[in-house]
Amino acid sequence: MPTAKRDFVSKSDVALREKANKVYAEAVKKAGTLNQCFVDLGKLASDLRKDSLWKHVTDGNGRPRFRQWTEVLEAVLGRMARKRAYDVLGCFELTQGDNPIPASEVRRMGISRAAEVARLEPTDRTPEIRKAAVTKSVLEVRNQVQEKLNAKLPKDKQKAMLKLLAINLPEAYVREFEEDMEVGIFMEGIRDGDNTQTMRHKVFHAMLIAFREYYVQELAAALKLMKAQAGVNGSPAAEAAEEQDFPDVENEMEEAAANEEAAAPKPSEDSGNVSRSRQLVMAE
């Protein structure tokens, strides 16, 4: 009975497969304890990427297991692999090349803060930045790193400093906000090619602008009330400022509101709790 023809495999191919499979198995094992050994995992991932060693990882039948590098990352680190894997690689690269940082120090930084430091050129990884990466929050480290990056960029390419906004809201409001946010990122004015802010940042800013424009008259009245309650309106200076400034401001606000009202369609009176984005979808 004829036997199936076997593909010829050279000794060098066998050696590469053995090496690749060994490194891959170690990478999977290290990923299980990522927080404790992410620098070691970064080295293994770097070894797999170097000279495309990952292409020689095989399955149980001796066939190539992966078609592209991202498949390796997902197999080792899971569905959120892409960004996390490059963060891990960045952590390992901090320990290499010019101005290397000891692996023990990178471990103290943790993945997220070390990945931020890795965004800098080796010469910009100053003692102050390194100390912050061990002692400060991820957001603080990100801002310090971004400040250094901004110093070398033109104004229109610089990214803003970030600050956490934490507020407890009813669940329904949060759901509506998230729904509007997810739809808003597809708006033409948001997808403007400006990479200095994320899409979600731009939608949030658009919401602030829309609020100020929609409630322009109410905000003017509220500002007066706020000053009155603070006892500011009783002073001669405040009264003089009100007589001089507020009429012009209110006229401008009223004109803007009139233009806005004429240009914009009236909101539905029976919309209830349905978010504006959902109203638009329902209207299609």
Same domain, 196 and 116: no
Using CB atoms within 10 Å of the CB of residue 114, give its burial: 0 to 12 exposed, 13 to 18 middle, 19+ buried: buried
> Picking from 58-67, 76-85, 108-117, 144-153, which range would have the lowest pLDDT averaged per residue?
76-85
Q: At 113, list the tokens.
A: 């803060």
Same domain, 29 and 136: yes
Same domain, 32 and 139: yes
When divided into structural domains, the chain yields a total of 2
Same domain, 65 and 129: yes
Same domain, 144 and 30: yes
Q: Which domain holds residue 118?
A: 12-155
* Nearest-angstrom CA–CA distance, 176 and 187: 17
Q: Answer yes or no: are the C-beta atoms of 74 and 81 closer than 8 Å.
A: yes
Backbone angles phi, psi at 215, to 5 degrees: -110, 35
Query: Is the pLDDT score of 281 beyond 90?
Result: no
What digits encode the pLDDT tens for the residues 225-275? 998 888 765 555 455 545 544 444 445 445 544 554 444 444 444 444 444
Average pLDDT score over residue span 124-139: 94
What digits encode the pLDDT tens for the residues 72-122? 877 877 665 567 777 888 888 899 888 899 988 998 998 889 999 999 999
pLDDT of 196: 87
What digits encode the pLDDT tens for the residues 158-203? 999 999 888 999 999 999 999 999 999 999 889 888 888 889 999 9
